């Protein structure tokens, strides 16, 4: 560990890469960007705090990946194509080994999704990672939370609840085998933003959101913004073979319905677009599951296969409640 | 103090205002913005950390102001007109009294400068304020650090060093009267971004930067980016009547040359533009002082009135060195 590196050397060494897609990147008072004609800029920011979102000894490569990936997930939910990112970083000390790994994880994710790091800030303080992500979407085509319509199918991508199951294992609430835990922990530590899906859903979905706080909480935002309700079929929820045996228990139900950190997309689309959605699933080789229907007001009801109603109490992760 | 407010109520209550200048503001996965035709987007982020940038018991109204003002100062240095901001906020608890005052300070500054808060993030953790600011500048006209030319005059706005003098008083290194301290503390706690100056300097200045880490450090960035050196006349530095008596001492010299938190602009312009700069000074009723000249390489030399050279050792604030 060294503390002698200056802030400017640190930025130069670990966070400065070529940015051919920007007019001006890292190194001035602000970056300069040109948004293509006919495009809207989609912009979002997410802050990850040590002790709240991850453990202080978390793997820095995975943290670098996750700090960017959770932001990209927001762009995916808007149907936007990622372009640029800013990174503000507070670290307790200039630990070059940590910074090298963090930066490698960040740029590995950035390179995979065509994102350029164009600016940021570094300072000393409790570990805190704040990423601002910017993307482009053709004017008027962004997917919003407010577009759900009566009768829409409700869909989710991938599998739900594995990240929460990994967390439950870490907290001693379930006991997974090493192999099971490894599979679920990958979802917790290495979420993959569903960017291709977001792009493909433009003009197909009526509304979309990414599932970061749990299905019920995030679907709840669509319902609130769209002034509608929802009926969910519990047995239609896509879950992994690791989570499935736990679904009869409260912990398993909670993972599937209210587990955070899934970073899948939840979206609604007209019944007439079912085959279009299934085509997208095939093209992207990504499971898309039809889990319920948009109804008139009344919140979200989860129906069990036996005709009963499943109520799990709290409906998602809230940092303050 | 209450801890029962949810994250979503908190955002709705304290951080959601109308955003007529955005396609979509707070409340979806991302904000949607339209950058006007022929404009470049200038974007920057600054993170303020409790214990590093301010004391934990700092006045929340002033913190709200400062978190935005220091970001606006970056846009001023680019000659960009401010448009939108994102705010990511980590707080130890949902203290509504604190949040109300912080938000009032933030929006007071935002309203004065025509900035709309279009998104952000709130979470629990050590107090940390991360603002991302976005503005517009006509293509090709932004003021950069890299444009300084041999023979340019070097100018600074306002007065230098009062913020650092207030800090020196708080740290017991000087003893100011209550009245003197109040005047200097205003500069420390309520910096005013020089946005009108930045706009007026488009087409006039060759290069610009805002002084956040001290004159020598920030001018040093212009010199490095422009591959030039500088000669500064110490007796030409604009200082207040409070700081002037301290200039003979090391503390006073350090405040004027290396004091952080001034948030004035330092810029260079051709000798032929002196009257244009003086016109701007008159129109904005803002002192603009010609403090030196851009020379060939050799770093920055500070000349005393007696012909000697002033060397203050370290040249500015660095979070890690």
pLDDT tens digit sequence for B207-257 = 999 999 899 999 999 999 999 999 999 999 999 999 999 999 999 999 999
Per-residue pLDDT band at A2 (split at 50, 70, 90): very low
Average pLDDT, chain A: 91
Cβ proximity of A220 and A316 under 8 Å = yes
* Distance (Å) of CA A110 to CA A306, B32, B131: 46, 21, 22
Q: Do A130 and B130 touch (CB under 8 A)?
A: yes
For chain B, positions 63-122, list CB contacts with chain A under 8 A. 74-75, 77-78, 80, 84, 86-90, 93-94, 118-122
pLDDT value of position B3: 44
Residue A315 has pLDDT above 60, yes or no: no
Cα A168 to Cα A290: distance, rounded to the nearest angstrom? 26
B316 vs A: CB within 8 A: no
Stretch B103-121: mean pLDDT, rounded? 95
Per-residue pLDDT band at B162 (split at 50, 70, 90): very high
> What is the nearest CA distance from B174 to chain A, expressed in angstroms?
26
Partner residue facing B44 (CB), from A29, A90, A126: A29
Cβ proximity of B238 and B287 under 8 Å = yes
What would the pLDDT profile of B256-293 be if each residue is shown by its tens digit? Answer: 999 888 999 999 999 999 999 999 999 999 999 999 99
pLDDT value of position B1: 33
* Distance (Å) of CA B47 to CA B54, B123, B132: 11, 15, 9
Q: Which residue has the tokens 């503000």?
A: A88
pLDDT value of position B316: 55
Cα A129 to Cα A140: distance, rounded to the nearest angstrom? 31
Q: Enumerate residues 6+ apart whose C-beta is below 8 A from A220.
A: A299, A300, A315, A316
Q: B19, B30, B83: which to substitute to probe chain A, counting the most A Cβ within 10 Å? A: B30
pLDDT value of position A54: 84
Residue/partner pairs of A164-167 with CB below 8 Å, 24 or more apart? A164/A214, A164/A254, A164/A255, A164/A258, A164/A259, A164/A260, A164/A261, A164/A262, A165/A242, A165/A243, A165/A246, A165/A252, A165/A255, A165/A259, A167/A259, A167/A261
Cα B49 to Cα A112: distance, rounded to the nearest angstrom? 31
**Interchain CB contacts (distance < 8 Å): A and B:** 231
Stretch B298-305: mean pLDDT, rounded? 90
Q: B8, B69, B130: which to substitute to probe chain A, counting the most A Cβ within 10 Å? A: B130
Instruction: For B6, name the nearest residue in chain A, comparing CA atoms only.
Output: A321
Cα A270 to Cα B63: distance, rounded to the nearest angstrom? 47
Cβ proximity of B165 and B46 under 8 Å = no
pLDDT value of position A3: 44
Cα B213 to Cα B321: distance, rounded to the nearest angstrom? 13
Q: A8, A13, A16, A28: which to substitute to probe chain B, counting the most B Cβ within 10 Å? A: A28
Nearest to B77 by CA among A123, A28, A292, A161: A28
Q: Which residue has the tokens 């912080």?
A: B102
Contacts of A222 in chain B (CB under 8 A): none
Cβ proximity of B284 and B229 under 8 Å = no
Cα B22 to Cα A80: distance, rounded to the nearest angstrom? 16
Helices (H), chain A: 7-15, 60-78, 96-112, 162-170, 178-189, 195-201, 215-226, 250-258, 274-284
Stretch B99-118: mean pLDDT, rounded? 95
Query: Residue A59 has which token pair?
Result: 């793997």
Q: Do B44 and A4 touch (CB under 8 A)?
A: no
ipTM: 0.89
Count how many residues are written for chain B. Answer: 321
Instruction: For B146, name the nearest residue in chain A, comparing CA atoms only.
Output: A28
Partner residue facing A29 (CB), from B47, B77, B120: B77
Contacts of B226 in chain A (CB under 8 A): none
Please, what is the end-to-end C-alpha distance for chain B in angstroms?
38
> What is the nearest CA distance from A85 to chain B, expressed in angstroms?
10
Residue B125 main-chain phi, psi, to 5 deg: 165, -175
Partner residue facing B33 (CB), from A40, A47, A52: A40
pLDDT value of position A271: 98
What is the sign of the dihedral through the CA atoms of A118, A124, A127 and A128? negative
Element (H, E) at B76: helix B60-78
Nearest to B44 by CA among B156, B143, B130, B138: B130
Stretch B155-160: mean pLDDT, rounded? 97
What would the pLDDT profile of A118-176 be if each residue is shown by its tens digit? Answer: 999 988 999 999 999 999 999 999 999 999 999 999 999 999 999 999 999 998 999 99
Comparing B9 with A204, the larger pLDDT belongs to A204
Instruction: Give bridge partners of residue B24 from the DSSP assignment.
Output: B32
> What is the nearest CA distance from A310 to chain B, expressed in angstroms?
24
pLDDT value of position B53: 84
Instruction: For B123, name the nearest residue in chain A, comparing CA atoms only.
Output: A319
Q: What percent of chain A has pLDDT over 70?
A: 96
Nearest to A297 by CA among A206, A227, A215, A225: A227
Other CB atoms within 10 A of residue B184 CB: 27
Q: What angle do CA A29, B197, B37 make, to 5 degrees?
A: 70
Q: Enumerate residues 6+ apart whose C-beta is below 8 A from A104.
A: A61, A64
pLDDT value of position B319: 55
Cβ proximity of B267 and B155 under 8 Å = yes
Stretch B137-141: mean pLDDT, rounded? 96
What would the pLDDT profile of A63-113 be if each residue is shown by its tens digit? Answer: 999 999 999 999 999 999 999 999 999 999 888 899 999 999 999 999 999
The pairing of beta strand A81-91 with beta strand B81-91: unpaired
Cβ proximity of B5 and A51 under 8 Å = no
pLDDT value of position A94: 83
Stretch B139-161: mean pLDDT, rounded? 96
Partner residue facing A88 (CB), from B31, B130, B321: B130
Query: Residue B171 has which token pair?
Result: 């740290």
Q: Do A124 and B49 touch (CB under 8 A)?
A: yes
Per-residue pLDDT band at A1 (split at 50, 70, 90): very low
Q: What percent of chain B has pLDDT over 70?
A: 96
For chain A, positions 199-228, list CB contacts with chain B under 8 A. 208-210, 225
What would the pLDDT profile of A279-303 be if each residue is shown by its tens digit? Answer: 999 999 999 999 999 999 879 999 9
Q: Do A31 and B47 touch (CB under 8 A)?
A: no
pLDDT value of position B26: 85
């Amino acid at each position: 560990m060294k503390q002698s590196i200056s802030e400017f050397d640190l930025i130069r060494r670990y966070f400065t890469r070529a940015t051919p897609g920007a007019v001006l990147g890292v190194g001035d008072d602000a970056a300069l960007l040109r948004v293509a004609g006919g495009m809207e800029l989609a912009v979002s920011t997410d802050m990850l705090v040590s002790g709240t979102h991850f453990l202080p000894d978390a793997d820095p490569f995975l943290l670098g990946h996750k700090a960017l990936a959770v932001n990209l997930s927001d762009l995916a939910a808007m149907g936007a194509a990622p372009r640029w990112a800013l990174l503000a970083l507070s670290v307790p000390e200039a630990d070059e080994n940590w910074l090298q790994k963090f930066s490698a994880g960040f740029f590995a994710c950035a390179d995979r999704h065509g994102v350029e790091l164009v600016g940021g800030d570094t300072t000393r303080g409790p570990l805190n990672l704040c990423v601002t992500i910017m993307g482009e979407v053709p004017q008027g085509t962004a997917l919003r939370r407010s577009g759900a319509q009566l009768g829409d199918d409700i869909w989710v991508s991938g599998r739900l609840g594995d990240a929460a199951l990994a967390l439950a294992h870490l907290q001693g609430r379930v006991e997974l085998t090493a192999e099971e835990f490894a599979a679920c922990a990958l979802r917790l530590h290495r979420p993959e933003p569903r960017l291709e899906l977001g792009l493909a859903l433009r003009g197909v979905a009526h509304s979309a959101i990414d599932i970061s706080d749990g299905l019920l909480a995030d679907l709840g935002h669509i319902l609130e913004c769209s002034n509608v309700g929802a009926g969910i079929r519990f047995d239609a929820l896509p879950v992994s073979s690791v989570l499935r045996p736990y679904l009869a228990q409260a912990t398993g139900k909670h993972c599937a319905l209210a587990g955070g950190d899934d970073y899948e997309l939840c979206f609604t689309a007209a019944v007439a677009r079912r085959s279009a959605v299934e085509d997208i699933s095939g093209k992207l080789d990504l499971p898309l599951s039809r889990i319920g229907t948009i109804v008139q007001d009344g919140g979200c009801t989860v129906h069990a296969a036996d005709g009963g109603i499943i109520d799990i109490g709290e409906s998602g992760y809230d940092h303050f409640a």
